[in-house]
Structure 1
Amino acid sequence: MDLQLLLALVLGIGTIIFLVLRTRIDAFVALLIAALVTGFVAGSPPIETIGSMTTGFGNTLASIGIVIGLGVAIGKILEVSGAADALAKKFVKALGRGREHWAMAGTGAVVSIPVFCDSGFVIMNPLARSIARRLQGRYVTLALALGCGMTLTHHLVPPTPGPLGVAGILGADLGGLILAGLVFTLALLPIVILYAAWMGPKLESELDDEVRQEVYGHATVGATGHSAGVGTATLDRPEPVVDEAPVHQLGDPPAGEKPHTISFGLAALPLLVPLVLIVLNTVGAAIDRNNQGVLSPDAEYTPANWAEVLAFIGHPVVALIIGIVLAVYVLLPRWTPRKQVHHWMAEAAGSAGLIILITGAGGALGQVLRDSGVGDALAEAIADLSLPGVLVPFFIASLVRVAQGSGTVAMITAASVSAPLVVGLDLSPLAAALACCAGSMVFSYFNDSYFWVVTRFTGLSGTAALRGWSGITTAVWLGSLPLVLIAGAVL
Structure 2
Amino acid sequence: MELMLLALVLGVAAVVAIILWTRLDAFVGLLAGALVTGAIAGVPVAELIGHITTGFGNTLAGIGIVIALGVMIGKVLEESGAADALAKLFVRLAGKGREDVAMSMTGAVVSVPVFCDSGFVILHPLARSLARRYGRSLVTLSLALAGGLAVTHHMIPPTPGPLAAAQEFGADLGAVILAGALFSIPLIPVVVAYARFIGPRLDPHLESAPTGDALPAEGEPAGGADRGEAGSAPTGSTGTGTALRRTKDGRDISEEPATPPIGALRASIPLLIPLVLIIGNTATGAALAGTRAAEVFAFVGNPAIALLIGLAVAVYLLPPRNTPRTTVLGWLSAAAASAGSIVFITGAGGAFGEVLRQSGVGDALADAVAGWPVPMFLMPFVIASFVRVAQGSGTVAIITSATLSAPVMAAAGVDPVLAVLSACSGSIVFSYVSDSYFWVVTRFTGLSGGAAMKMWSGMTTLLWLSSLPLLGVAALILG
Other structure's SS at 1:137 match: coil
Is 1:425 matched with 2:440? no
1:97 offset after TM fit, Å?
A: 2.1
Aligned AA for 2:170?
Answer: G
Distance 1:322 1:222, change over 3 A: closer
Runs of 4+ that moved beyond 3 A:
209-217, 219-223, 225-228, 238-243
Counterpart position of 2:422:
435
Counterpart position of 1:110:
109
Q: Is 1:220–1:227's contact at 8 Å kept on the other side of the alignment? A: no
Counterpart position of 1:244:
258
Is 1:444 matched with 2:431? yes
Counterpart position of 1:160:
159
1:37 offset after TM fit, Å?
A: 0.5
How far apart are the structure 2 equivalents of 1:71 and 1:14?
A: 32
Is 1:92 matched with 2:105? no
How far apart are the structure 1 equivalents of 2:291 and 2:56?
A: 33
Task: Spell out, residue by residue over 1:43-101, the C-alpha distance to the aligned partner (whole angstroms, 9 max, x if none).
Answer: 11011111111111111111111110110000000011010011112222332221110
Task: Spell out, residue by residue over 1:262-309, the C-alpha distance to the aligned partner (whole angstroms, 9 max, x if none).
Answer: 1110000000111011111111111024xxxxxxxxxxxxx1111111
Q: Is 2:215–2:233's contact at 8 Å kept on the other side of the alignment? A: no
1:332 offset after TM fit, Å?
A: 1.2
Which of 192, 216, 229 is residue 244 of structure 2 equivalent to? Answer: 229
How far apart are the structure 1 equivalents of 2:40 and 2:84?
A: 51
Counterpart position of 1:235:
none
Aligned AA for 1:335?
Answer: N
Counterpart position of 1:28:
27
1:25 offset after TM fit, Å?
A: 1.0
Distance 1:223 1:263, change over 3 A: closer
1:430 offset after TM fit, Å?
A: 1.0
Aligned AA for 1:319?
Answer: A
Which of 372, 375, 383 is residue 396 of structure 1 equivalent to? Answer: 383
How far apart are the structure 1 equivalents of 2:369 and 2:358?
A: 19
Is 1:487 matched with 2:464? no
How far apart are the structure 1 equivalents of 2:408 and 2:121?
A: 39
Counterpart position of 2:287:
287
How far apart are the structure 1 equivalents of 2:320 and 2:191?
A: 39
How far apart are the structure 1 equivalents of 2:237 and 2:325?
A: 42
Distance 1:393 1:281, change over 3 A: same
Task: Spell out, residue by residue over 1:313-339, the C-alpha distance to the aligned partner (whole angstroms, 9 max, x if none).
Answer: 111111111100110111013411112
How far apart are the structure 2 equivalents of 1:209 and 1:69?
A: 17
Distance 1:113 1:215, change over 3 A: farther
How far apart are the structure 2 equivalents of 1:85 and 1:243?
A: 8
Which of 303, 326, 331 is residue 318 of structure 2 equivalent to? Answer: 331
Is 1:194 matched with 2:193? yes
Is 1:10 matched with 2:9? yes
How far apart are the structure 2 equivalents of 1:4 and 1:185?
A: 37
For residues 119-268 of structure 1, the aligned pairs below 5 Å read 119-210=118-209, 213-214=213-214, 217=222, 218-221=231-234, 224=237, 228-229=243-244, 240-246=254-260, 261-268=261-268
Which of 449, 453, 457 is residue 440 of structure 2 equivalent to? Answer: 453
Is 1:468 matched with 2:467? no
Q: Is 1:68–1:352's contact at 8 Å kept on the other side of the alignment? A: yes
How far apart are the structure 1 equivalents of 2:382 and 2:282?
A: 30
How far apart are the structure 2 equivalents of 1:137 and 1:223?
A: 7
Q: Is 2:112–2:157's contact at 8 Å kept on the other side of the alignment? A: yes
Other structure's SS at 2:374 match: coil
Q: Is 2:132–2:232's contact at 8 Å kept on the other side of the alignment? A: no
Counterpart position of 2:276:
276
Q: Is 1:67–1:317's contact at 8 Å kept on the other side of the alignment? A: yes
Counterpart position of 1:410:
397
1:14 offset after TM fit, Å?
A: 0.4
Distance 1:169 1:427, change over 3 A: same
Q: Is 1:93–1:242's contact at 8 Å kept on the other side of the alignment? A: no
Tell me how large the CA RMSD over aligned residues is: 1.8
The answer for unaligned runs of 5 or more in structure 2 is: 217-221, 223-230, 247-251
Q: Is 1:439–1:477's contact at 8 Å kept on the other side of the alignment? A: yes
Task: Spell out, residue by residue over 1:430-452, the C-alpha distance to the aligned partner (whole angstroms, 9 max, x if none).
Answer: 11111110000000000000000
How far apart are the structure 1 equivalents of 2:316 and 2:202?
A: 38
1:215 offset after TM fit, Å?
A: 5.5
How far apart are the structure 2 equivalents of 1:452 and 1:282?
A: 25
The answer for unaligned runs of 5 or more in structure 1 is: 232-237, 247-260, 290-302
Q: Is 2:137–2:234's contact at 8 Å kept on the other side of the alignment? A: no
Q: Is 1:133–1:215's contact at 8 Å kept on the other side of the alignment? A: no
Distance 1:334 1:213, change over 3 A: closer
Q: Is 1:195–1:472's contact at 8 Å kept on the other side of the alignment? A: yes
Aligned AA for 2:258?
Answer: E
TM-score by length of 2: 0.92
Aligned AA for 1:465?
Answer: A
How far apart are the structure 1 equivalents of 2:425 and 2:58?
A: 25
Aligned AA for 2:359?
Answer: S
Other structure's SS at 1:423 match: helix
1:159 offset after TM fit, Å?
A: 0.6
Q: Is 2:56–2:350's contact at 8 Å kept on the other side of the alignment? A: yes
Task: Spell out, residue by residue over 1:392-435, the C-alpha distance to the aligned partner (whole angstroms, 9 max, x if none).
Answer: 10010000000000000000000000111112333111111111
How far apart are the structure 2 equivalents of 1:418 and 1:401?
A: 15
How far apart are the structure 2 equivalents of 1:488 and 1:222?
A: 43
How far apart are the structure 2 equivalents of 1:75 and 1:222?
A: 20
1:22 offset after TM fit, Å?
A: 0.5
Q: Is 2:209–2:444's contact at 8 Å kept on the other side of the alignment? A: no
1:486 offset after TM fit, Å?
A: 2.3
Aligned AA for 2:477?
Answer: V
TM-score by length of 1: 0.90
Aligned AA for 1:224?
Answer: S
Counterpart position of 2:358:
371
